[in-house]
Amino acid sequence: MEKNYCVIMAGGVGSRFWPLSRQARPKQFLDILGTGRTLIQQTFDRFSSFIPVDNILVVTSVRYKELVMEQLPELKEEQVLLEPLRRNTAPCIAYASYRIKTQNPDANLIVAPSDHLIIKEEEFIKQIKNGLSFIENNDALLTLGIKPNRPETGYGYIQVKKKVEFNHLDNLYKVKTFTEKPDLEMAKIFVDSGEFFWNSGIFLWSTSSILNAFETHLNDISSLFAKGIKLYNTEDEVHFINKIYSECKGISIDYGVMEKAQNVYVLTADFGWSDLGTWGSLYDNKNKDSLGNVVQGENVLTYDTQNCIINLSDEKVAVLHGLDGYIVAESNDTLMICRREDEQQIKQFVTDVRIQKGDSLV
């Protein structure tokens, strides 16, 4: 039996990409890169090239079930695990891990977000296969760390300790610390030190290693999901999950497990990664015209405009004059114009629009 499984986490609402990303259709279900494939489809394509399709699970919100089935018709309904409430990544991973344990207790898991950009796919797959080989032979919680090329304040960082000898790999380390998003001065220190790598949020481990870690560090969550060991893959699973999610706390896998466990390792790499979490990260990863503009939209005319990211529908004729360093984005009769440097305020914009204009616009 094939032991390698992939869990794609696809429950986020992508509010920092508003107004393009909405609660009804968040960014993982959008083709924001203009490739003809949505982000979740690109993620699926990447992993299905070397993981059997039957061994790929998607964990998402119950409200996105139809979107997942529509965009990934290769999946059977039982491969889409539905969360009734948002509870962050730890419960999501616990659910998938217990489910897979009932199918194959010797499974190795890759856990990955649904909405990341990977430019160098061959290098990515090579590193994932190296990681699978390591966790197959070691009781280890492994994450992928990205070599930073700038002092980025929007990512978490992983500090490495000593190099680990395994199969002639020269990029495997024991983890010293995880650090939350730093300010700019601290990010510069991190990058200059050479000891820090961006935290990609991509993990590899055996089912037994991660479930042991849950029992040790998040026993309240572990004991909830363990109660259903005879219910997974049966018609009673949905009722059980709906019940325990209301009792389950929300916590990230980084904070709940990775920052506390002793058997945490990182495989450092550079495969053209971005979490595409913001308009700014999209701007960084798109081709620009001679004035530094990224323009999506067939009928956009710009004059004395530079360093902007413009995302407008093809039907809309728009004339922009005298802008420098702005986000101009429109979707479903909603228009947002915001300085790129102030994009962290978009979450607040979304909250204000919800309060003043209603949920239908967010």
CATH topology of domain 4-274: Spore Coat Polysaccharide Biosynthesis Protein SpsA; Chain A (3.90.550)
Give the range among 119-128, 239-248, 273-282, 334-343 with minimum mean pLDDT: 273-282
The residues of the chain that CATH labels 3.90.550.10 are 4-274
Asked if pLDDT for residue 237 goes beyond 90, the answer is yes
Asked if pLDDT for residue 277 goes beyond 90, the answer is no
Share of the chain above pLDDT 70, in %: 100
Q: What integer pLDDT is reported at residue 115 of this predicted model?
A: 94
**Mean pLDDT score, 327-342:** 94
**Mean pLDDT score, 254-276:** 95
Q: What integer pLDDT is reported at residue 153 of this predicted model?
A: 86
For residue 74, name the pLDDT band (cuts at 50, 70, 90): very high
For residue 156, name the pLDDT band (cuts at 50, 70, 90): very high
Residue 358 to residue 295: CA distance in whole angstroms: 29
Residue 32 to residue 14: CA distance in whole angstroms: 12
Q: What integer pLDDT is reported at residue 303 of this predicted model?
A: 97
89: left (phi over 0), alpha (psi -120 to 50) or beta: alpha
**Mean pLDDT score, 56-74:** 98
Asked if pLDDT for residue 195 goes beyond 90, the answer is yes
Q: What integer pLDDT is reported at residue 14 of this predicted model?
A: 85
156 neighbors 198 (Cβ within 8 angstroms): yes
Q: What confidence tens digit (pLDDT) does each residue in 90-149 have?
A: 999 999 999 999 999 999 999 999 999 999 999 999 999 999 999 999 999 999 999 998
47: left (phi over 0), alpha (psi -120 to 50) or beta: alpha
Tell the residue number behind the tokens 């220190």, with chain if given.
Answer: 189
Asked if pLDDT for residue 289 goes beyond 80, the answer is yes
**Mean pLDDT score, 314-323:** 95
Residue 133 to residue 301: CA distance in whole angstroms: 52
Q: How much is the pTM?
A: 0.95
Compute CA distances 84 → 43, 91, 297, whole Å: 23, 12, 36
Q: What confidence tens digit (pLDDT) does each residue in 9-20 have?
A: 999 988 889 999
> What residues form DSSP beta bridges with 177?
159
- Going through the chain in order, the beta strands assigned E by DSSP cover 4-9, 56-61, 80-83, 108-113, 117-118, 141-146, 157-163, 172-179, 196-206, 264-269, 273-274, 294-296, 300-303, 309-311, 318-321, 326-331, 334-339
Q: What confidence tens digit (pLDDT) does each residue in 27-57 have?
A: 999 999 889 999 999 999 999 999 999 999 9
Residue 145 to residue 198: CA distance in whole angstroms: 5
Asked if pLDDT for residue 332 goes beyond 90, the answer is no
Centre a 10 Å sphere on the Cβ of residue 331 and count the other Cβ atoms it contains: 19
Helix (H, G, I), strand (E, B) or coil at 70: helix
Q: What integer pLDDT is reported at residue 1 of this predicted model?
A: 63
For residue 238, name the pLDDT band (cuts at 50, 70, 90): very high
Tally of residues, the chain: 362
